[in-house]
Amino acid sequence: MLTITLALLAGCAQKKDVDAMEARLAALEEKVATLEKRAPAGPASSAEEEAANAVMKGVTEATKNNDYATAKAKLQELMAKHSNTKAGKAAEKMYREVGLVGADAKPIDVEKWYQGKAALGDKPVTLLVFWETWCPHCKRDMPELAKREQDLEKMGIQIVGLTKVTKSATEDKVLEFMKESEIDFPMAKEKEGSMSEAYNVSGIPAAALVKDGKVIWRGHPGRLDDATLAKLVGA
């Protein structure tokens, strides 16, 4: 009787060991599968880069025509099928920008105004521009916007500048730059970067057009020539 009992106990112990081993093996297989999914793809071939560039060309054409549904679909295709190409890597940032079009616009909420004040409803359309004094492209584009302010006002567009005053920037530098560049439109310091976060700003200069409480365009301010603006705002 004792011999039979010991044999049964030994069998149970072996079964527990087997079950535990199988559980560990399953967990290991799952971990390997997860790592494989996360592993970066190898460098893209020239044919893959060419195919991705063709899709990106479609994105550019769609955004020029304000066809954001097509642009979003093509950017999703780039991220899914060509993630290891140059165009595929750029698609994620573009998708965050294009994906904002049609969304409710966050009201202007700032820490302080350096000059003027503005709200989204003050004019039919508001052009929000995100910039910093240490950004060389911003130093080029902001004065150009200042020169166009009166023409934009005739189209029903108000410009509002937003800065977080980061890195080497200071409020004195902001004020000095505004004076030197003859910037007269409202300028404010963001409240803890909340506006940049709401408008998916990951690089500067950046801009967003708001009309009737909705974001109707998002991108680099340098792409907003008069013809594009007229098409966007219906002027």
131 and 191 share one domain: yes
Structure tokens at 99: 């994906």
Mean pLDDT of the chain: 86
Output the domain CATH number for residue 180: 3.40.30.10
Q: How far is CA 34 from CA 28, 37, 38, 39, in A?
A: 10, 5, 6, 9
d(CA 60, CA 100): 16
| pLDDT of 98 | 87
200 and 114 share one domain: yes
| pLDDT of 41 | 56
Sequence-ordered list of residues with C-beta below 8 angstroms from that of 155, at least 6 positions apart, any chain: 125, 229, 230, 233, 235
Tally of CB atoms within 10 A around 61: 13
Calculate Rg over the CA atoms of the chain.
Answer: 27
pLDDT of residue 9 exceeding 80, the answer is: no
Domain final residue, candidates 54, 78, 98: 98
In a domain, 55, yes or no: yes
With pLDDT > 90 as the criterion, what percentage of the chain qualifies? 67
| pLDDT of 43 | 84
226 and 115 share one domain: yes
pLDDT of residue 171 exceeding 80, the answer is: yes
Residues in the chain: 235
pLDDT of residue 39 exceeding 80, the answer is: no
78 and 158 share one domain: no
Residue-number span of the structural domain to which 67 is assigned: 46-98
Looking at the chain, list the stretches that DSSP marks H as alpha helix, in order from N- to C-terminal side. Answer: 2-38, 46-64, 68-81, 86-98, 136-154, 171-180, 194-198, 226-233
Looking at 65-170, list the stretches that DSSP marks H as alpha helix, in order from N- to C-terminal side. Answer: 68-81, 86-98, 136-154
Instruction: State how many domains the chain has.
Output: 2
